[in-house]
Amino acid sequence: MKFRFRKTKASASLPASASPGKRFAPALLGGLVALAISASSATAGSLYNNWNYAIDSFSDGSGGAGFEERALAFRQIGQTGYFAISGDMPLTGVPYGALNGSVAPGDLYLNFSSHNLNTQAGFSDPKVFGIRFASANDSFGNTAGTPNTTLGLFKNLTVVDLASPQNSGYNTLQDYYNSGFGRAVGSMGDLNTTTDVINYLGNGDMYPNISGTTGINSKMSDITLLDQTALSALGLDFAHFGAGAVGSAPVIGFSFDLSGLPAGQFTAHFFEECINDGIALKAEVPEPGTISLLGLALAGVPLRRRR
What pLDDT score does 45 carry?
64
pTM of the predicted model over 0.75: yes
Phi, psi (rounded to 5 degrees) for 283: -150, -165
What pLDDT score does 245 carry?
78
pLDDT digits (tens, 9 = 90+) for 48-58: 999 999 999 99
How far, in Å, CA of 264 to CA of 43, rounded?
10
Mean pLDDT over the full length of the chain:
84
Task: Give which of 90, 125, 132, 98 is closest to 111, Cα–Cα.
Answer: 125
How far, in Å, CA of 100 to CA of 138, rounded?
7
pLDDT by 10s per residue, the chain, length 307: 433 333 334 433 434 444 444 444 444 444 433 334 333 433 446 899 999 999 999 999 999 889 999 999 999 999 999 999 999 999 999 998 888 889 999 999 999 999 999 999 999 999 999 999 999 999 999 998 999 999 999 999 999 999 999 999 999 999 999 999 999 889 999 999 999 999 999 999 999 999 999 989 999 999 999 999 999 999 999 999 999 877 667 899 999 999 999 999 999 999 999 999 999 999 999 987 554 444 444 444 443 333 3
pLDDT digits (tens, 9 = 90+) for 30-82: 443 333 433 343 344 689 999 999 999 999 999 988 999 999 999 999 999 99
How far, in Å, CA of 307 to CA of 288, rounded?
32
What pLDDT score does 248 carry?
67
What pLDDT score does 98 carry?
85
What pLDDT score does 6 carry?
37
The strand pairing partners of 109, in sequence order, are: 130, 269
Q: Are strands 219-221 and 152-154 parallel, antiparallel or unpaired?
A: antiparallel
Write the CA distances from 244 to 38, 87, 117, 156, integer angstroms.
28, 8, 29, 34
Q: How many CB atoms lie within 10 A of CB 277?
A: 25
How far, in Å, CA of 19 to CA of 23, rounded?
6
